[in-house]
Every structure is written in structure tokens, then in C-alpha cells.
Amino acid sequence: MNTWLDIAVDCDFSIYNLPFGIFSTHKKKPQVGVRIGNYVIDLEQTRKLGLLNIPRNICNQSSLNPFIGLGKKRTNAVRMQLQEWLTQENSPLKRHFDHVFHKISDVKMHLPVKIGDYTDFYSSIEHATNAGKIFRPDNPLYPNWKHIPIAYHGRASSIVVSGTPIYRPQGQFKPADAQTPIFGYTKELDFELEIGAIIGRNSEHGKSISTAEAEEYVFGLVLFNDWSARDIQRWETLPLGPFLGKNFASSISPWVVTLEALEGFRVQGPIQEPQPLPYLQVEGIRNFDIQLSAKLNETTITNTNFKFMYWNIAQQVAHHTVNGCNLKIGDILASGTISGSKVGSFGSLLELTWAGKNQITLTNGETRTYLENGDTLTLAGFCEKGGKRVGFGEVVGQII
């Protein structure tokens, strides 16, 4: 497909992508937009011009939830119509260009969804094994890990959009050589490279979703940085899991890339042995080939891929609802840290520095074990195949 817009070949926001987000300008309140190249299509304006048949009070809202609530069939029809017009020289979108398009440099991006509940999985076997080796050398992977897509509930209120500064959290932790805990700023501030799935459909309380239906409940994906304070986490985590070591902030990318846009980038996931219980078995190709990276200031410190995930999104949704737990539009199911099998593909400093034992050296000669004040951490991700590129842009956070 060719569009009449000028878009760089390596742009994440190609004609094949068209993700949704919430933007504002200094004249317009936060509302629904679609990203293409370095522009944002103003969906409310498009609707007002009579070009798109979307009900009122959907596109002018400050979260995507009402738009997502229209259902995949209608939201994807909007995407397809925009895609068609973007390839037609004589399209209403082109005729109304000045009314409908904003330069990306003129907009501010906001949290794309109102998040009800946020769940964090632990679905990368490489990450779980690494974390296990660090904390429990004798018993890296618990006996349940290959039977259950392990997860815990996280904090929704402190999820922020890319660009929001991250305050170094204070808390309680116990230095290895101390008898009692101390209070102070975390000394082990870390990132976690994850992908977040945005729930696109309410499920009924008491009803399970099968792996076959699961993707109908997912609107799209974002990059997700689950900031972590390892010293706080270590001291608090038994017996009920992470709490203050995680809930001070998580950052997400502003553009929700739809599952439809990712369709062409499916790949087979790792072989699951032993075979999971029937409710977790999947048919079809359920992993996605998304190239991921993390940059600490100017230095790329990891390159990994979403395709390494042992448990896929369909299995996560099926597991989450097998007991009747209900999902709501805007909920986020994050993947857990995504690591590959080599050092350069680990998705956290915990793993990259092996819990602070091995420093990493940045391109300017500085070294790091954990994040320092002023550091900027940037996650990026994209799919590429046969000359088509569909990307997520970045999720950026600076420690202050």
C-alpha cells in the first residue's frame, strides 16, 4: 500500500499500523486520535465532517474506553476506512487535510485508557529462570511454573503515560548485613521491559473465556515498563508477593497497536512441555514477532523479542478468567519481563547486572548497576516483515 502522506520507510506508524490514542492540543481537550507517520488524525473532527459514522460522545472522550466499547468490528472498520482513504489521492481525508490532521509536534499524548484492573504476568521462562537463579539458586523455577501462567495483581492508579517523570521511591528495606530494616530511597531502581495487552471487551463475572475466544477480548498492545525497586521488593515480598517495590509507577506507550495490525507478524511460540491442562491448550499461532529494545540514556542495553514468551496472551486470558474472574474494557494484562536466552537480551537490570554483581558500561564510559537519578530509560518495539513495519514507538521515563 502507498499513501499520499510522506512517511519514512522505517517509521513505526506506517499505513499498515494506524494505532489509536488520546491526544490534546492547546486548543483541544484530550480526545481520540489515530497515528499515521508524523501526524495524528482527529477522529472527532472526522466524525463531525460526516466522514465516519461513529456515535456522538465517543471520540471526544478523554479515554479510548467508549471507543473500544463499540466492538472490534466497528473500531477496525474505522481503521480500514482511514487506511483506504490514506491510499486514495482523491479522498475526503486528503480534501479536509487541514481540518483533520495535527502534526505530532503540536499534540500532547495522554494515558490511552482508563484502567480498571492491571495484572502482571510472569510469562517469560528465561526471565523466571534468571530471577529464580538470583534469588533461589537451588530452585530457580517453581514446580507450578510450567503448569500455570503465573501472575499477580498490580496497581492501576499509578500507571502513567510515556514521558511522565518517575520519582525515585522511598521505602523500607534490609541491607544484607543489617539486623533490622532501614528507611530511605531505593538503591536498586530497575526497569522491566514488557508488553501490555489492553482488554477490549467486558467479560461476564462467573464466565470463563476459552483460549479460542481469548483474542476477541484483546483490543491491542502497548509497551509497558514495570518500574521496580528491588531492595524494597526483596524485603516485602514474602509471603504475598510484590507491593511497594512495584506500585509506585508503571509507564506505557501512548499508541495502542491493534491486534489486527499485528496479524501478519504471528509466529509459533516455544514448545510447551509438559503439555498444559486442556483449558490452557491453544490452536493456531498465538505469539507475535515484536523486536524489542531498551536504551539507558544513549546506550542500547538489551535487544529481545516478544516471540520468546512461553505463555501467550490467549493462555493468559483463559487462565485469568477460568475461575470466573471478569475482565473489563481498559484493563491491562502485562506480559511480565521479556528476556531472551542471552545476556544481551535480558529485560531488566536485575538480570543484566545479575543483581548488581556485574556493572554494565554505557557508550560514554559511565557504568551502572541500577538506575541513577537523571537517567532516562527508553523501551521501543516494532514488527517488520516483507517491507511492512508496524511499531509501538517508545515508552520513555526519566528518573528524578
According to CB under 8 A, which one of 4, 16, 243, 354 is a site residue for a second copy? 243
By CB under 8 A, the residues from 189 to 208 that bind a second copy are: 205-206, 208
By CB under 8 A, the residues from 94 to 153 that bind a second copy are: 116-117, 122, 132, 135, 142-144, 147-148, 150-153
To the question of whether residue 180 is assigned a binding role by annotation, the answer is no
When the beta carbons of 39 and 370 are compared against a second copy, the nearer one is 370
Per-position b or e across 17-40, b if 16+ CB within 10 A of its CB = bbbbbbbbbeebebbbbbbbbbbb
By CB under 8 A, the residues from 328 to 347 that bind a second copy are: 328, 331
Stretch that binds a second copy, among 50-58, 176-184, 188-196, 218-226 (CB under 8 A): 176-184
To the question of whether residue 192 is assigned a binding role by annotation, the answer is yes
To the question of whether residue 136 is assigned a binding role by annotation, the answer is yes
Residue 57 touches a second copy, criterion: CB under 8 A: no
Stretch that binds a second copy, among 16-24, 25-33, 84-92, 154-162 (CB under 8 A): 154-162
When the beta carbons of 74 and 155 are compared against a second copy, the nearer one is 155
Angstrom distances, CA of residue 321 to CA of 61, 184, 212, 315, 333: 29, 39, 13, 10, 12
Pick the catalytic residue from 102, 110, 127, 319.
127
Q: Based on the residue annotation, tell me whether 127 is a catalytic residue of this protein.
A: yes
Minimum Å distance from CB 168 to a second copy? 9
Minimum Å distance from CB 159 to a second copy? 10
Binding site for a second copy (CB under 8 A): 116-117, 122, 132, 135, 142-144, 147-148, 150-158, 160, 167, 169-172, 174, 180-183, 205-206, 208, 229, 232, 235-244, 247-249, 274, 277-279, 319-320, 322-328, 331
Give the residue numbers marked as catalytic. Answer: 127
